[in-house]
Amino acid sequence: MNNLLGPVGQLGYVVEDLEKAAWSWVEKAGVGPWTVIPHVTLDYFNYLGESSEVEMGIAMAFTGSMQIELIQQHNDAPSMYQDFISECGEGIQHVCFYPEDYDSALESLTGTGMNVRQDGAIRGMRFAYLEGIDGNVLELGDIPEKVRLRRQVDIESAACWDGSDPVRIFE
């Protein structure tokens, strides 16, 4: 299974305020620089098999090869993010893998009894959140080769980051 999923690529946190959370990571853990996108455009988003009009923003930074993602939902549309923040407050919500073969990995996981709770796409990049490992959430991300290459550049840039311009906001 590990070969099917590949290594863990991301830890995802649900937060109440993207910019505040990014600054907290910089100040407390020295993680940065952060790319903050206050409002992402989703191609589509489904929660429990039904379309949901989620409005959200994300922030991303690397520590080593691990991407930290912060997610802020701006409305009360049904989603696992909304469920998490309501039930748990801020915190780590998912672990994400970027398998080479997204469809095979997704089929394999659902074949073991894991359930897709939400799925969607951002700029053509599909994602699915599954629940089924002792209640924990696993995300699969379908990223194209050019994004994989960009990810490597971002990892190398973060390793050389001098601490300047730690929170970069893109509208």
Q: What are the domain boundaries of the chain?
A: 2-160
Res. 29: pLDDT tops 90: yes
pLDDT band, residue 164 (cuts 50/70/90) = very high
Q: Specify whether the CB–CB gap between 13 and 22 falls below 8 A.
A: no
pTM: 0.94
> Are the C-beta atoms of residues 18 and 36 closer than 8 Å to each other?
yes
Q: Is the pLDDT of residue 144 over 90?
A: no
In the chain, the percentage of residues whose pLDDT exceeds 90 is 86
The fold of the 2-160 domain, in CATH, is: 2,3-Dihydroxybiphenyl 1,2-Dioxygenase; domain 1 (3.10.180)
